[in-house]
């Protein structure tokens, strides 16, 4: 099929929920993608923070292939070795006690919200518990996840949402404290807001939230679906804040291409929340997904992926800061590790136009919020890749 035929066939049959770029990607290698005409692209998106190990990691691919040849699915009525292994490795890596595997990030958030309500229900038997979420947050597109997503534009056509969600201002502790009452069962936030525009939580904000939750027996849910899995420079971003969540959601890079997510919790939450009959999934935690998760975690450890993040991230940050100093349409740079955003003065230049121009120049980038170009490269990039990205990006400013 030609490029045009592929796009035409897709557009004739897919539900039109995405405005896709007119590119048909065919394969990848390392930190590069290739379209169906053979054109090469340097990838600073990684399938939205998914392909942490880059493309074609042979160890990862062999592990997934070996599992497909054995068995891909068995149902949650039984055990499998990959399930046991992935559960053990992911709880160790996240320093959480128990895990439930899902098929996506949104589904992980659904589970986290259910666990929080059940925990509160077990305490007081009430059915009117409230959850505090943040403005400009993003937690997914299913009803529960959408209900805690702080973007009215995404929610409005689908109202009513699940009830009793209150929105506070990210990094404004008083706005959160003002919403707490005897019905509050959880606070949910992204340790680094992703879709909303790459805003890391202030250390002081997160510490105070943790204390507020402890004082009121409110569960702290951290959504690290985007910022987790090494991207921040620690295995999970919360580890740089000296606090621990009660519930943690993960997805994206946890499967590095195999669709999988998870919600994890500490023993306190696990001991008094979801029990048999409360929650389930057919595919979640199947041997194929878990073989991928287990191998990803082993590769992270053995290939010292996080060391590379901490080696390259300061270089990327410095290079982006140089751009801010040089171009008048750039007004800032922020982020944590290899999750970074370049903030545009949208009166002068539109991030969306830069992304389109970058694609023409063989560089894959995406936007975040209304005024940010987002950088989410595979975690295996080198400083030379950063230099090449900067060269392609600056060319995209002028073309």
Ligand X SMILES: *Cc1c(COP(=O)(O)O)cnc(C)c1O
Binding site for ligand X (CB under 6 A): 104-106, 109, 138-140, 190, 194-195, 223, 225-226, 251, 261
Q: CA torsion angle for 360, 365, 370, 371 (degrees, to 10)?
A: -90
Nearer to ligand X, 109 or 133 (CB): 109
Q: What is the DSSP secondary structure assignment for residue 66, as one 8-state letter?
A: H
- Tokens found for residue 187: 């606070």
Let me know how long the chain is: 399
Q: Angle at the Cα of 159 (from 155 to 163), degrees rounded to 5?
A: 95
CB of 142 to ligand X, least distance (A): 7
Residue of closest CB approach to ligand X: 105
CB of 37 to ligand X, least distance (A): 29
Nearer to ligand X, 195 or 295 (CB): 195
Do the strands 339-344 and 363-364 form a parallel or antiparallel pair, or are they unpaired? unpaired
- At 249, give phi and psi (nearest 5°): -110, 140
- Tokens found for residue 164: 């009793």
CB of 357 to ligand X, least distance (A): 25
Nearer to ligand X, 152 or 178 (CB): 152
Nearer to ligand X, 111 or 287 (CB): 111
Nearer to ligand X, 248 or 330 (CB): 248
Tokens 């008094």 correspond to: 272
CB of 6 to ligand X, least distance (A): 24
Locate the DSSP E strands across the chain: 25-29, 32-35, 40-43, 98-102, 130-134, 165-168, 184-190, 192-193, 199-200, 219-223, 247-250, 261-265, 330-336, 339-344, 363-364, 366-368, 372-375
Nearer to ligand X, 263 or 392 (CB): 263
CB of 258 to ligand X, least distance (A): 12
CB of 145 to ligand X, least distance (A): 6
CB of 208 to ligand X, least distance (A): 21
CB of 62 to ligand X, least distance (A): 25
CB of 393 to ligand X, least distance (A): 23
What sign for the dihedral angle of Cα 381, 387, 392, 396?
A: positive
Residue 290 half-sphere exposure toward CB, CA atoms < 13 A: 27
Nearer to ligand X, 261 or 369 (CB): 261
Q: Are 117 and 129 in contact (CB under 8 A)?
A: yes
Q: Are 247 and 264 in contact (CB under 8 A)?
A: yes
For residues 59 and 33, what is the distance between their CA atoms, to the nearest angstrom? 19
Beta carbons within 8 Å of 4's beta carbon, 6+ residues apart = none
Nearer to ligand X, 99 or 109 (CB): 109
For 329, other C-beta atoms within 10 Å of its C-beta total: 15
Coil/strand/helix, residue 184: strand
CB of 94 to ligand X, least distance (A): 15
Q: CA torsion angle for 95, 96, 102, 108 (degrees, to 10)?
A: -100
Nearer to ligand X, 87 or 106 (CB): 106
Nearer to ligand X, 250 or 330 (CB): 250
CB of 36 to ligand X, least distance (A): 25
- In DSSP terms, 27 is beta-bridged to 34
Nearer to ligand X, 362 or 369 (CB): 369
């Amino acid at each position: 099929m030609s490029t045009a035929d592929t796009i035409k066939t897709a557009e004739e049959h897919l539900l039109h929920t995405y405005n896709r770029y007119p590119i048909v990607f065919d394969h990848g290698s390392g930190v590069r993608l290739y379209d169906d005409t053979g054109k090469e692209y340097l990838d600073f998106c990684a399938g939205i923070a998914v392909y942490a190990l880059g493309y074609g990691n042979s160890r990862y691919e062999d592990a997934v292939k070996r599992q497909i040849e054995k068995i891909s699915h068995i149902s949650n009525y039984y055990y499998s070795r990959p399930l046991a292994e992935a559960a053990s490795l992911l709880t160790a890596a996240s320093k959480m006690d128990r895990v439930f595997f899902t098929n996506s990030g949104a589904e992980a958030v659904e589970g986290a919200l259910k666990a929080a309500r059940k925990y509160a229900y077990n305490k007081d038997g009430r059915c009117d518990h409230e959850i505090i979420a943040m403005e400009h947050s993003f937690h997914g597109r299913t009803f529960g996840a959408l209900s805690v997503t702080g973007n009215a534009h995404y929610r409005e056509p689908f109202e009513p949402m699940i009830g009793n969600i209150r929105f506070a201002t990210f990094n404004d502790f008083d706005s959160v404290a003002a919403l707490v009452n005897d019905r509050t069962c959880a606070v949910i936030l992204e340790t680094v807001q992703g879709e909303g525009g790459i805003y890391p939580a202030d250390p002081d904000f997160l510490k105070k939230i943790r204390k507020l939750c402890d004082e009121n027996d409110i569960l702290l849910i951290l959504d690290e679906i985007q910022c987790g899995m090494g991207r921040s420079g620690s295995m999970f971003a919360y580890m740089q804040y000296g606090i621990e969540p009660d519930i943690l959601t993960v997805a994206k890079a946890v499967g590095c291409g195999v669709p999988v997510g998870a919600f994890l919790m500490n023993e306190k939450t696990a001991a008094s929340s979801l029990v048999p009959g409360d929650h389930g999934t057919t595919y979640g935690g199947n041997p194929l997904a878990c073989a991928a998760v287990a191998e990803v975690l082993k590769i992270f450890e053995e290939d010292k992926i996080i060391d590379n993040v901490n080696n390259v991230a300061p270089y990327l940050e410095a290079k982006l800061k140089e751009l801010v100093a040089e171009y008048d349409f750039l007004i800032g740079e922020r982020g944590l590790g290899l999750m970074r955003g370049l903030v545009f003065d949208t009166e002068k230049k539109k991030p969306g136009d830069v992304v389109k121009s970058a694609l023409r120049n063989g560089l894959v980038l995406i936007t975040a919020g209304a005024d940010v170009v987002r950088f989410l490269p595979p975690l295996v990039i080198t400083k030379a890749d950063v230099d090449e990205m900067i060269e392609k990006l600056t060319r995209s400013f002028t073309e």
